[in-house]
Structure 1
Amino acid sequence: MNYCVLIPTYNNAKTLARVVEGVLQHTPNVIVVNDGATDETGVILAQYPELTVIHLPQNKGKGNALRIGFEKARELGYEYAITIDSDGQHYPDDIPLFIEAAKEETAPVLLVGNRNMAQEGVPKKSSFGHKFSNFWFHLETGVRLPDTQSGYRLYPLEAIPKKYYTEKFEFEIEVLVRSSWRGVTVKNVPIRVLYKAEERVSHFRPLRDFARISILNSVLVLIALFYIKPRDFIREARKKSLKQFVKENILESDSSHKVKAYSVALGAFFGLSPFWGLQTVLTISLAVFFKLNKALAFVFSNLSIPPMIPVLLLSSLKVGSWFVGGSVLPEGGEVTKEYILNNLLQYVIGSLVIAVSISALLGVLTYLGLKIRDRRGN
């Protein structure tokens, strides 16, 4: 494989030489990014002329160092980059594990080292952050990984994003999630890990960095719910014929009758509600969040097709007039700006009442219909 090993480092003079020498036993293709270190890092690196070294004048964070390292690796023609931390917790002898695992894949794969976080010596804050990160990654991508925080990784350089929005510790979360969204397979590789309190220098600032990571995860979840999930669903639906889509995703799905009924009700509610232009996004996003049948919800969110729009508008205005008053049709038959403003509340209330009523009715009918279908089948 055409790969290099990328080592970002900042004030890890105690362990840097050991890590570099261990890596050089496996490959001469090594890039080290000195992220503005103020200790003996520069002196140590000068002892290894075979390395490709990038000295940054100022410390800007691990994410920035990795991004610059990726750019250099592409410039030198490498297809993969294995990143290893310079604090000594990773074993360079595990490099072949990444190479062999990557060779087994037929498509681009991003491999993350899977550490044993239950072993003795693992800091409690590391164990908590490990579980926290795994939860958010699954919520954002739908992919389950036992370890999403390890910095020991193999990156397919041409498949991962080229531009990023973060440059500190949260960068490793961003690149993992956005690579998965791009269709890159993300897997774990079992690795060993060494924690020596007397050697390890952590630059993680619990309050500030945890806040940055939380903000990033919040943004990623919103993007996943309102863009990525609907996008992936529509792409999948387009790959199938209508008959295949109905058969596989609706009639013969593994969803229970109750889930299917809720899915129909959800889709019908947004299809009849005054969320013009947002029905599909809201429906699929909430279907994903509540683990409902996305196909059923999507189909019933399209109840407000063009021929039905005049009927729904008039019905909403009529029902709304029962609650807040107002006329159904404008005087003289001309729809003016004044008429729209005066009757907007009337329309919104009416459409929501209709949406709730019809969605509940369709949900109940769906459940009963599926039950009757089962009895006839038996």
Structure 2
Amino acid sequence: MQNQPITQKITSLNVCVVIPTYNNQHTLKRVVDGVLNLTSNLIIVNDGSTDATAQILEGYPEIQQIHFPKNRGKGLALRTGFEKAIALGYNFAITIDSDGQHFPSDIPNFIEELDQHITKDVLIIGSRNMKQEGVPGKSSFGNTFSNFWFWFETGIKLKDTQSGFRLYPLKVLKKLNFYTTKFEFEIEVIVKCAWKDVEVKNMPIQVLYDETERVSHFRPFQDFTRISILNFWLVFLTLIYYKPRQFFRNIKKKGLKRFFIEDFLGSKDSPKKKALSVALGVFIGFSPLWGLQTFLAITLAIFFKLNKTISFAFSNVSLPPFIPFIIIGSLELGQLIFQESISYSVSDLMDNFEVIEHLKSYIVGSFALATLGALLFGFVAYFFFSIFKRKKRVLQHD
């Protein structure tokens, strides 16, 4: 018998439940019945099961069902389920695994959480207690690994990014393009939703790992490799697209003056940390690492726990209008270091200057310029930020 209040709320919020299943004959019926106690808005995607799954589902003719003739992967099963849900007019989809580790009784918690965020796009991931007894070590390690890369790629810290018990905003998913078909899809979808400014958050859920009936289809080597390749690609996109886009969008949204005051001066980082961030950005910008400045500035800022926004901003000292001056400065310092003389003109630099002919002088001089520039800008920045911090304290006391 359905819980009428929660059933009505599921209907009013236009939510359905999607269950992807593959060879989980021992737990599937329990999960399906648990969901039906709450709602009949249910879509099951049978991902080519070879056990008794098809026979079990014959007992539920009233449920929307999709059957693949052969196994195609959890990601594709989910994507197909979402496409069906969108075609049926649903706005949200809750996904729950069929292996028995999730409790359908937690679905009302997702609905209550959604009800509090209905005015904005939200993606809710059920957060498991990875320290409880019975949690496989490989699951705990994989989750920690995944959490780190999700934070790196989006700036969002979560406790669990691998749980399959989730609530998705279908109107957002409808506008996105996905390329993965296996377990890695669940990483791709949350990263791309976060990049679309969807609020991605955790919510505590119950979890059961019963090895006597649970069947896991995660293949440690193959699937971990797939996830690693996906994360490599997402990190690359983060550094060359998402972070720069976010930086320039903030400037456009706030205006240069407000952005400078809030994101540079108003940052809670210490003057020392801000100055080191400036120095790092300038060093990268002046160095002869053309095409890698953005990647290196953001990556090293994260590694050294510096201000990513400031480092990225100052790495742009190598914008095209400044490049001839950087090359001239590098060559002059290189000549000074090697005590040699190079004949060139500004027109040579602009037209047909062959830097390869003077590669040694250019590279050494470039790093020397980068070091001097980092020291100069860093000291000036520290002095500037220290004065601003003291003035801010005076104003606050007044």
Whether TM-score is above 0.5 comes out as yes
Pick from 134, 137, 152 the counterpart of residue 147 of structure 2: 134
Q: Which amino acid aligns with 1:172?
A: E
Given residue 152 of structure 1, which amino acid in structure 2 is its aligned partner?
F
- Corresponding position of 2:369: 354
Partner in structure 2 of residue 8 of structure 1: 20
Larger mean CA deviation between 259-268 and 72-81 belongs to: 259-268
**TM superposition shift of 1:318:** 2.1
Residues of 2 paired with 1:308 and 1:197: CA distance? 63
Find 1:75's aligned residue among 87, 103, 106. 87
Contact 1:317 1:328 in 2 (8 A): no
- Which residue number corresponds to residue 4 of structure 2? none
Asked if structure 2 preserves the Cα contact closer than 8 Å seen for 1:288 and 1:294, the reply is yes
Q: Which amino acid aligns with 2:151?
A: H
Change in Cα spacing, 1:28 to 1:373, as seen in structure 2 (3 Å) is closer
- Picking from 27, 40, 46, the partner of 1:28 is 40
Q: Find the aligned partners of 2:218 and 2:347 in 1 and give their Cα distance.
A: 69
Measure the CA separation in 2 of the matches of 1:193 and 1:67: 24
Q: Does the aligned pair in 1 maintain the 2:24–2:53 contact within 8 Å?
A: yes
In the alignment, the residues of structure 2 paired with residue 80 and residue 196 of structure 1 have an alpha-carbon distance, to the nearest angstrom, of: 29
Give per-residue Cα distances to partners, 1:245-303, cap 9 Å, x unaligned: 22222223211122122112122223333455664564345434433234433453344
Q: Which residue matches 1:205?
A: 219
Gaps of 5+ in 2: 1-12
Cα distance between partner residues in 1 of 2:383 and 2:328: 30
- 2:30 — aligned with what? 18
- Which runs of no fewer than 5 residues in structure 1 stay unpaired? none
Residues 289, 65 of structure 1: alpha-carbon distance in 2 compared, 3 angstrom cutoff: same
Q: For residue 234 of structure 1, what is the amino acid of its counterpart?
A: F
Distance 2:237 2:322 in 1: 31
> Given the two structures, how large is their TM-score scaled by the length of structure 2?
0.86
1:41 matches 2:56: no
Give the letter aligned to residue 134 of structure 2: G
Partner of 1:53: 65
Q: 1:68 to 1:269 in 2, by over 3 A?
A: same
Amino acid at match of 1:328: S
Pick closer, same or farther for the CA change 1:155–1:181 going to 2, 3 Å.
same
The residue type equivalent to 1:214 in the other structure is: S
Tell me what 1:102 maps to. Answer: 114
Alignment of 1:317 onto 2:331: yes
Instruction: Check whether the contact 2:355–2:362 (CA below 8 A) recurs between aligned residues.
Output: no
Residue 357 of structure 2: which of 309, 321, 342 is its match?
342
| Structure-to-structure mapping, 1:138-217, within 5 angstroms | 138-160=151-173, 162-217=176-231
* 1:154 positional shift: 0.7
Whether the 8 Å CA contact 2:276–2:378 is kept in 1: the answer is yes
CA deviation digits over 1:20-55, x for unaligned, max 9?
A: 111111111111111011011111111111111111
Specify the alignment match of 2:283 in structure 1.
269
> Which residue does 2:3 correspond to in 1?
none
Cα displacement string for residues 139-168 of structure 1 (whole angstroms, at most 9, x for unaligned residues): 222111122111111111111364222211
SS of the residue 1:5 aligns to = strand
Correspondence 1:238 to 2:252: yes
CA contact (8 A) 2:324 2:350 kept: no
In structure 1, distance between residues paired with 2:355 and 2:70: 59
Deviates more, 1:237-246 or 1:47-56: 237-246
Question: Alpha carbons of 1:275 and 1:5: their partners in 2 closer, same or farther (altered >3 Å)?
Answer: same
Worse-matched range after superposition: 261-270 or 105-114: 261-270
CA displacement at 1:90 relative to structure 2 = 1.3
Name the stretch that deviates more: 249-258 or 46-55.
249-258
User: C-alpha separation between the residues in 2 aligned to 1:158 and 1:89?
Assistant: 28
- For residues 105-160 of structure 1, the C-alpha deviation after alignment (integer angstroms, 9 at most, x for no partner) is 12111111122222222222222222222222222221111221111111111113
Query: Which deviates more, 18-27 or 120-129?
Result: 120-129
Q: Does 1:259 align with 2:277?
A: no
Q: 1:339 to 1:326 in 2, by over 3 A?
A: farther
| 1:319-353 alpha-carbon deviations (Å, 9 max, x no partner) | 22235545232599797747544234433332222
TM-aligned CA distance change 1:255 to 1:217, over 3 Å: same
Q: Deviations over 1:217-265 (max 9, x none)?
A: 2322232233212221221122123332222222232111221221121
Contact 1:225 1:289 in 2 (8 A): no
Match of 2:240 among 223, 226, 242: 226
Q: Which amino acid aligns with 2:378?
A: G
Task: Provide the secondary structure at the position in 2 that maps to 1:14.
Answer: coil
How much does 1:85 deviate? 0.8
Q: Matches of 2:146 and 2:319 in 1, distance apart?
A: 42
Percentage of identical aligned residues: 55
